Structure 1
């Protein structure tokens, strides 16, 4: 083997080792060390985080994130993401937080860490007002929709026997809740399972007489902020900041702005 070839191989090996060490150092760095945190969110999820008629990013969680970021001395950037890829986006380092009506579930806890819960929620069943569906039992043979990779789908899947009675024995999934609700309006599906907070807001905007929310639901849950496992300093600071904005009334003001009352946990 020539000296030149040996030199090329040696330098190549050194470069690979250096890149590997750099990669390890990046992964071990806590996001709290960054000046700007990237928040991943679904920009169609009213009223938590969405684009208004002027294209501005607004919402309850957007306002809350801005207030919390001030308390921990960070700038924030809001990055719209494919909600079905949220955990992958977080763990690959493309975003630093999942913050947009992110329900705390056992399955998600295996992938990410969560802040303390800050809001309560239910997975409710929405139908058109004149629908003959009045309970879970009435979903037999019906087309039921939900957002892909949402906690609504997780909640439905836990009730396996009920799921089997749906048309084709499955949930029809959509990229966004808005798409699911549009298909409900067009009568292409018979019911939508979604977060109660979104449902109440959507119905209020579209007209109370157009829809109904059933008394039956798919369970209670809580919202939290999703953080990479290992970002312990950031997790601690976020929990402290949440307590601060609850104590000084800031969280109450944000809640009243979007919901007309204080619903912060």
Structure 2
């Protein structure tokens, strides 16, 4: 029996339980016991282990990060990375789909454990959320019609763009003087661009190439790109209850990088490896 192996899920649950017992070990009153129970219940990793699933918020409309394939199945780079992390934690992955501006609100309220949606790490978001170690590094580009005279980020001054409200793309465009229109998803953005209702949109380089592979006749181009790649990571609520989950996810990401899983998934969905800085 001493040599019997335990599953990663059982190990993580045991760690959470030991932590909770440690919190209660210094007192003997019923009030202390109640406090310890609340601490155990509040540990998100323990909750995930108990329920046997981890809930990821995602759009499901942003290929190749998160989308539905021809069979209607949810997949994409982020989706498969999320599934691999959940597997490392010994649980299943469940996905709640919605529009971007509601995903972070759902994370804030505790409806979701985290987000799998190519979330860029920004100074503003770091003030509110804890982020895992990056699992991808992304370059933001300016997408325009083929005949546009935009040639740099500075040329966005006075121009109109469209992106989902609260996205890093909208924030970046506005920082260069553009007026942003809120949209629901990338497809709506492209419709506005091709109809001439906006001058440009910002998005990932890999998203642009994926779209062009599916629409080779689209009269679009990359007009400019941001100098520095953005770090892509999983956001977690900044609270004591998420600390053990953050550590476990970081360990899983390190293992997936080491065993080549991240690079393989990147090649599968992007055709290049964007998992190394």
Structural RMSD (CA): 2.5
Q: In the TM superposition, what is the alpha-carbon distance from 1:254 to its structure 2 partner? A: 1.2
**Aligned twin of 1:17:** none
Q: In the TM superposition, what is the alpha-carbon distance from 1:54 to its structure 2 partner? A: 2.9
Q: In the TM superposition, what is the alpha-carbon distance from 1:219 to its structure 2 partner? A: 4.8
Q: Secondary structure at the match of 2:82?
A: helix
After superposing the two structures, state which structure 1 stretch, 187-196 or 99-108, moved more: 187-196
Q: In the TM superposition, what is the alpha-carbon distance from 1:251 to its structure 2 partner? A: 1.7
**CA separation in 2, counterparts of 1:218 and 1:248?**
30
**CA separation in 2, counterparts of 1:188 and 1:171?**
12
After superposing the two structures, state which structure 1 stretch, 73-82 or 210-219, moved more: 210-219
Q: In the TM superposition, what is the alpha-carbon distance from 1:209 to its structure 2 partner? A: 6.2
Q: Is 1:188 matched with 2:197?
A: yes
Contact 1:102 1:225 in 2 (8 A): yes
Q: In the TM superposition, what is the alpha-carbon distance from 1:140 to its structure 2 partner? A: 4.5
**1:35-84 deviation digits (Å, cap 9, x = unpaired):** 21110011111111112233211101111111121111111101102311
Contact 2:140 2:225 in 1 (8 A): no
Taking the TM superposition and a 5 Å limit, the aligned residue runs for 1:30-109 are: 30-34=44-48, 35-109=52-126
Q: 2:232 aligns with which of 204, 207, 223?
A: 223
Q: 1:118 aligns with which of 105, 130, 135?
A: 135
Taking the TM superposition and a 5 Å limit, the aligned residue runs for 1:113-262 are: 113-157=130-174, 159=175, 162-163=176-177, 166=178, 170-207=179-216, 210-217=219-226, 219-229=228-238, 230=240, 231-262=242-273
**1:79-122 deviation digits (Å, cap 9, x = unpaired):** 10231122221121111011110001111112221100111112
Highest RCO, 1 vs 2 (Cα 8 Å, sep ≥ 6): 1
Contact 2:61 2:185 in 1 (8 A): yes
Q: Secondary structure at the match of 2:251?
A: helix
Q: 5+ unaligned residues in a row in structure 2: which ranges?
A: 1-34
Contact 2:115 2:235 in 1 (8 A): yes
Q: In the TM superposition, what is the alpha-carbon distance from 1:175 to its structure 2 partner? A: 1.6
Q: In the TM superposition, what is the alpha-carbon distance from 1:216 to its structure 2 partner? A: 4.1
**CA separation in 2, counterparts of 1:89 and 1:26?**
23
Q: 5+ unaligned residues in a row in structure 1: which ranges?
A: 1-20
**CA separation in 2, counterparts of 1:250 and 1:263?**
12
**CA separation in 2, counterparts of 1:102 and 1:133?**
26
Q: Secondary structure at the match of 1:240?
A: helix
Q: In the TM superposition, what is the alpha-carbon distance from 1:25 to its structure 2 partner? A: 5.8
Are residues 220 and 246 of structure 1, via their aligned partners in 2, closer, same or farther at CA, if it must alter by over 3 Å? closer
Q: TM-score, normalised by structure 2?
A: 0.78
